[in-house]
Structure 1
């Protein structure tokens, strides 16, 4: 008789972890490089400092540390993982860094690959992981969101250099053997027609090849961003997709325990919360200490709030990621924690 595949009614969030570089760069530090000040940066972004990888650190180091922390919280061995998804737009290796993470962890049974969706990457990876679990193809999955944006920032552009930092965050998920489900709904959107407002484009240079033929040079330009357009995009689309998701789930904003948004700008967080009439005490924010760490912001904030006791088992969380692409999405989560 052929064995029937295991099929899950839901997914469970079992553990989280995070890691940041040791070096913190304050607003005052940046003032030594560009014409800016702590008050100027704080008033426009809410950011006070950001972490930057040092010469003895790598993105994979952060990924491995955050993943190990999540596995420890869940009480899992690396060999119990079936899949590793690494959400990043800044891999150490352009061919993919997830296999290196798999090797570092000793997760020999797991298949590993990268997923690129910029600041929406972690949420998109979480949603993707859930589909593998629901189908019965996988039992346990590690999702990591990590970026080293300091590698691609123009540190002489005072409009953008103040925004970004480096970090990694991780989440471990497993298929639910019963009717429990920690992913109670999700929505995903993309609009490439607006992608030019936030991009990290290739270098447009060519070099001689043979005869009159030439070849493109590898490499990328620094991050290019139209801050005003990104702000307008976020404060319009994020409340819209969250409202649609809550309507589908037949929930009101007052039934949420936490609002966990991509940590891009405090003014965006405040504007979205105001649209939903969510009190500031329910809005999770730590970008003052880390800045925008792209795919790492949501798991970094989740880990901090779980470990300091704000997020408790059973809490309902509305989360939204948004950014380059342009891409945005939302998920309605419930935290189960370790079994």
Structure 2
């Protein structure tokens, strides 16, 4: 039986072999070190496989650094959309682009996080996190230092030398998140990564995701069917359901505008951007008086989407053109 240290020594050598030509990879991945997210775009896209199109007429424009949540029932095409942005499935019609260039395959500056942890079972957690750094051609000492720092950031410093079967499901998902972000990708694509976790572990992972994404600058597309995933992160919402915003989500969003955590209130306001105007605008107007500027900004941006359907949204926005926060004032004035 190998000890943890022996396993890591073996897998360090494997990392260099699996990484292939590190210098070429480093050139390709260089954009991932810029700290700026990618713009991801789908235009009139039909998504799926040639014998089974999942969804058509999809238009998505994710701004650099934005966190976009794609929510909808099982089978509506959420995971297919994500795999198209990852370059694993070409669009059947229309276009898929990253920063204005066609997405024609997987790229080192787009990291994909699965519901299953997808760690390599013969590698320690640290060696798994080192893999994208080895692909970039980083020296062994530097990639070990960076991997160790990421594991500390996700609370796995004590488990760094363990193989995946010796840690819990939640710890494996933490390691997968660390591996995805260690290579400093410009886009992180997450396919219901917390779906297999129990409720308590899931809540902890939601909080951790907010924490570790802060300051990375990466664009994030997060696929889920869980309402709490949308509310916790304060993310933008793209609903593939025919209603635009599923009724359970709208109801939870209205209730969550009273949550003690400002991140939840901001997420609720953003989710209501896709809800029917007659339900969303009155509660968003009240959110414009929230004590937190980020919540007020989220409410302003959500109301902006409703200005085309109801004058009440414009009336509400006019009340914050003199807000104490410069961004709130600017967003409201621009919408009017």
Same fold (TM over 0.5): no
**Structure with the higher fraction of residues in helix conformation:** 2
Say which structure, 1 or 2, has more relative contact order (CA 8 Å, 6+ apart). 1
What is the TM-score normalised by the length of structure 1?
0.27
Q: Which structure would you say has the larger Rg?
A: 2
What is the TM-score normalised by the length of structure 2?
0.28
**Structure with the higher fraction of residues in strand conformation:** 1
